[in-house]
Amino acid sequence: MIQNLPMKKVDLYTDGACSGNPGPGGWAFILRCGQTGKELERSDGDPASTNNKMELTAVIRGLEALSEACEVTLYADSSYVLQGMSQWMSGWKKRGWKRKDGSKLVPVKNIELWQRLDELLQVHRVHPEHVKGHAGHVENERCDELAVAAYQRYLEKS
């Protein structure tokens, strides 16, 4: 549970990519701590995924990489992830992880990823920030490069 004690402040940059949607996917993150100067880059992929799954996975893996509760500024270009966190998730939880589809309720897509993200948001204090993709933002471009390289490994195998 989030404490009111001072927390280490970190920046988390994320991106996901797919070749086809669905298709081979990749995710990447950069974690940077301004206080310690430490930086961590990670990426991986999935032979059959969607862009939204990869975007969510990048955020989850970045938060999972933290060894203690932190105050995190999340920089992402995914409206799906950012709106889900800030606007949709609370309603989904109240409705038993269901979303409105016209007049009926249907299960949330990527529910296991959203539920894992929800668990991590109980640990870390996350401040989401939207960055425009493919617009020269250095860390976003690096994450995109890593995510694309991750899915390209699956294209080479086929």
- Please give the positions annotated as active site: 15-16, 55, 77, 134, 144
SS3 114: helix
Residues near 81 by Cβ (< 8 Å), separated by ≥ 6? 14, 52, 55, 56, 59, 128
- Torsion, CA 42, CA 47, CA 49, CA 54, rounded to 10: 10
